[in-house]
Every structure is written in structure tokens, then in C-alpha cells.
Amino acid sequence: MKPDLKADFTQRAPIALNDPTLRRNFRRAMDGLMAKRAAQFPDPADWQEMRARGAAAKARVTARLPELLERLEARCKENGIQVHWAESTAQANAIVLDILQQAGARKVIKGKSMVSEEMELNHFLDGHGIKAVESDLGEYIIQLAGEAPSHIVMPCIHKNKGEIAELFAGNIEGLDYTEDVDALTAAARRVLRDEFASADAGISGVNFAVAETGTLVLVENEGNGRLSTTLPPLHIALMGIEKLAETLDDIPPLLALLPRSATGQPITTYVNMITSPRKPGEKDGPKAVHLVLLDSGRSRVYADEELRDTLRCIRCGACMNHCPVYSRVGGHTYKFVYPGPIGKILTPQLEGLDCAGDQPHASTLCNACVEICPVEIPIADLLVRLRTESVRPSDSPAVKGAGSRRNWRETLAWRGWKFMYSRSWAYGIATRLAARLGNLIPENAPLMRQWTSVRAKPKFAGKTLHELAREKGYDHE
């Protein structure tokens, strides 16, 4: 069943929780990914040293983002890469369309790009008569299924072999139902080979853009990224403005962390470094390369010194794999492009708390994501900050939609709480009343219902802690 996109996270979650196939698919996948990642970081001291290096490299970027972006633009232009700035996803779409139309392109082959998901690019291009074909196997599968990715690294992780076999048998000509993974992969390869050969343009994401040299770094395992960026005559790279590294020397420590954290591999099969279009005398490579830099709310994130740590993210997905919430409900329950812990801090800042205010609350604050993040993003602190912003009076400029979850009942409750805790006589009366009358409150009382719908109501002791201590002879008054 598809999640209700209008409902709050707490209303959507039970749909996934009551889907045994989805639960099994995620549990199996997350257990495997956690074990593979753990095997890559056997020494805790080494791990701490590596992540400190990765965090420092990304922190240098977030400290000087505007300056480094200008440097990247200058280097790219010197190298022959055309650079475009897009303030919004609508602008980015218009830029891509314009480039494609000027080149007369009717079909594009795509490498994996989460920014293109943000832009809903495939849908947009389709509306303008341009066919976009996903070439990453996971993305290809969900494109056939007409779904959105449920994980930022493994987009079809929610599907099992049988579900993929059914999908392929129904969509790939001449293929009978088979759960043989080699046969399924070979069938996808056959279809995609033709698409690569006939595409007018290739579109890819960017893992890191190096400001020092104007190099676009792309990691991948299938070779589809390399084909998408070298075979067609035109390459368009899409990147969020935060995906920067200052120098080439920053790349090895970041590459040491990214695949290990993401898929438990020491290195990906392909590491592509693109620095220019095809040069005279070269036999392959696109004749033109364009880089589209997307802001879409990231400058606002950068403007806040605490929240800008969000921009360090290298999109490894490890926080999702280790999240007790994500691993039970899966990515679609979040309803936005970026699910899991990173999504809970990034989405409300990009989209606004008025539209994604439920996301920071979809967390137990257990800290698993913080311990696992290879670039030390203090996700739990940022979740608390965003929760605060969501109920702060709405004149707070830090986050769009701040104050949108503020309501008079909660405000009144916290004022009462503050009054009680700052006066010992009020605290004494309140705790005595709660101890005496607490058990009389019905389990499904309107104010309790949201809490008790998934928890048992606590049983009150009947006496306050002070009274119980006094009975035991510990009277400090």
C-alpha cells in the first residue's frame, strides 16, 4: 500500500509497520549493510581518526562555502566546463531543458543523482517530450515500478528478488519470470546498452567537486556512471552547492569513508574524475560538459552557524542503515526525497518546517546516527534544534516555516511546567496531586491518546518520592 502523502509521519508509519514483506526486506538489507560496514572499521581508534579527517575536510568547505564555490566556477570555466547557477529546482530544470533543447536532445541516459530526484527531473523532461532513462540498476528498477527511491544509496532496497523478477518479466521483452540474479542483471544490461548507445545526452550527479582543480568526482559500482558521462556527446552534471572539497588532497580521506560507510566496500569499482570535455585529439568523452549548481534552500542552511553542519553530509546513507526508525518503516514513509536521519534534518531546512515539520519528530534521539556518521554531523543536536524552531514564535529567520507547529495547548502546558518547577511549594502540590489522582485518568483520555496509542499509561505509585523516602527514614527536610 502506498503511504498517504498528506498524512503526518505518525499516521503513515503504521502502514509500513504492518507490512511484513517490507519489514523483512528492510531488516535483511540493514543487517547485511551494518555487518559489512562494521567489518570495514575493525579498529575503533582508526575509525575515529579517519572520520576526524573526513569531518575536518567537509568543515573547511562549510566554513568558506561562497569563496570555494567561486573558485570552483573559475577552475571549471578554465577547464572548458560551463557552469550554471540555479536558485531553485524549477530554475535548475529550466536550465537543463534549455541545454538539451539547444543540443536537439530527445533522449538522455542518467547516472544516479539525488539532486535530480529533488528536481523531479524525469517527470519534468517527460512533460517536454524528452525521455530520461535511469541507468543505475536500482534506479532502473524503481523507474520501471514508477516509484521513488527508498534509500539514497540503494534506491530499490525495499524490493526483494521475487518482486524484481515480476517487474522485469512484465516489462522486459522476451524475459520470462526468473529469480536468477545473473539473468536479471544481464537482461537489464541488454536493455541499457542500447539506451547508452542511442542517448543524445548523459546526466549525472556529483559526489565531490574539487574547488582547487575544477574536478568532478563520481563514485559508482556498475560503470553506468562512466558510460553516461563519456558516451553521449553532451554531459550535464547536477550538484547541490555543498558537495565540494577544497583540494584534491581532501578526496582520498573522503573516499576512504564514503564506500566503507555506504556499502561496506573499501573502494567503489569505479572512481570517475572529470575535469573537462573531450580535448582535441582525444577519442572519447563528451564534446560539452555543463555543471548545474543547485541552491534550493542550502544558502539559508549555510547562514546559520549551527545548522550548516548539515551541509557536511557526503550522502553515504549509513545513518539510515543504523536508524531504528528507518530500518522499520523504510524510506517511502518519510514521503520526501531524503529519508532517515539525514532527511529529518535536511528536508525541513530545504522545504520548510511548515511542510516537513513532522520529520524532526520521527526520531527516538537514540544517537545511533551520530555515532556512525563518517563526517561527525551532530544529527541529534540538530533534530532538537529543529524541533525547537518548529514551535518557536514565527519571527525566527533561521528556518523557513519556524513556529508552524506551535499550538496554544502545548504552550500552556510548558508554561505550567515552568511555573511548577521554579517554585518548590507548587512542585510539592503538583506531585502530591499527580500521585493521588494520576491513576484515575483514563488510558484513552483525549490529552493522553496520542501517547497511549503506542504505550501503556504509567502506573502512579500513589505517594510522592519524598513521601516514600520519608517512610524509609530518609528525611532530608
CA gap 414, 29 in Å, rounded: 41
Q: Does 315 engage in binding with ligand SF4 (CB under 6 A)?
A: yes
Contact 110, 202 (CB under 8 A): yes
Q: Does 313 engage in binding with ligand SF4 (CB under 6 A)?
A: yes
Q: Does 3 engage in binding with ligand SF4 (CB under 6 A)?
A: no
Nearer to ligand SF4 among residue 71 and residue 312 (C-beta): 312
Which grid cell is 27? Answer: 531488516
Query: How many residues in the shown chain lie near ligand SF4 by CB under 6 A?
Result: 15
Q: Does 219 engage in binding with ligand SF4 (CB under 6 A)?
A: no
Q: Does 317 engage in binding with ligand SF4 (CB under 6 A)?
A: yes
- Residue at 435: amino acid letter: A
Which grid cell is 123? Answer: 517527470
Q: Which of 318, 353, 362, 391 binds ligand SF4 (CB under 6 A)?
A: 318
The DSSP-derived string for 339-404 is -HHHHHHHHHHHH-HHHHTTGGGS-----HHHHH-TT---HHHHHHHHHHHHHS-TT--SSTTTTT
Q: Does 316 engage in binding with ligand SF4 (CB under 6 A)?
A: yes
Strands (E) across 143-275 are located at 201-204, 208-210, 215-220, 234-240, 244-245, 270-274
The DSSP bridge pattern shows strands 215-220 and 131-134 to be unpaired
Half-sphere exposure of 476 (CA within 13 A, CB side): 4
Q: CB of residue 219 vs ligand SF4: minimum separation in angstroms?
A: 13
- Scan for cell 516489462, then name that residue: 171
Q: CB of residue 375 vs ligand SF4: minimum separation in angstroms?
A: 5
Q: Which of 373, 380, 383, 435 binds ligand SF4 (CB under 6 A)?
A: 373
Nearer to ligand SF4 among residue 292 and residue 372 (C-beta): 372
Q: Does 342 engage in binding with ligand SF4 (CB under 6 A)?
A: yes
Task: Compute the residue count for the chain.
Answer: 477
Q: Does 370 engage in binding with ligand SF4 (CB under 6 A)?
A: no
Nearer to ligand SF4 among residue 131 and residue 315 (C-beta): 315
**Stretch of residues binding ligand SF4 (CB under 6 A), selected from 220-228, 287-295, 314-322, 441-449:** 314-322
Q: Does 319 engage in binding with ligand SF4 (CB under 6 A)?
A: yes
3-state secondary structure of 195: helix
Q: CB of residue 318 vs ligand SF4: minimum separation in angstroms?
A: 4
Contact 31, 281 (CB under 8 A): no
212 Rama class: left (phi>0) / alpha (psi -120 to 50) / beta: alpha
Q: Does 374 engage in binding with ligand SF4 (CB under 6 A)?
A: yes
**Stretch of residues binding ligand SF4 (CB under 6 A), selected from 18-26, 263-271, 283-291, 313-321:** 313-321
Q: Does 61 engage in binding with ligand SF4 (CB under 6 A)?
A: no
Q: CB of residue 154 vs ligand SF4: minimum separation in angstroms?
A: 12
Sketch the per residue contact string, 226 through 265, with ligand SF4: x for CB under 6 A, - otherwise: -----------------------------------x----
CA gap 226, 111 in Å, rounded: 8
Which grid cell is 47? Answer: 575509525
Q: Which of 57, 218, 294, 314 binds ligand SF4 (CB under 6 A)?
A: 314
CA gap 436, 416 in Å, rounded: 19
CA distance to 146, 231, 419, 472, per residue, from 414 (Å)? 45, 61, 9, 33
Q: CB of residue 411 vs ligand SF4: minimum separation in angstroms?
A: 32
Q: Which of 375, 382, 386, 402 binds ligand SF4 (CB under 6 A)?
A: 375
**Stretch of residues binding ligand SF4 (CB under 6 A), selected from 111-119, 137-145, 219-227, 307-315:** 307-315
3-state secondary structure of 64: coil
Q: Does 348 engage in binding with ligand SF4 (CB under 6 A)?
A: no
**Stretch of residues binding ligand SF4 (CB under 6 A), selected from 43-51, 67-75, 371-379, 387-395:** 371-379
Nearer to ligand SF4 among residue 264 and residue 317 (C-beta): 317
Q: Does 377 engage in binding with ligand SF4 (CB under 6 A)?
A: yes
CA distance to 316, 374, 376, per residue, from 59 (Å)? 17, 12, 10
User: Applying CB under 6 A, which residues contact ligand SF4?
Assistant: 261, 313-319, 341-342, 372-375, 377
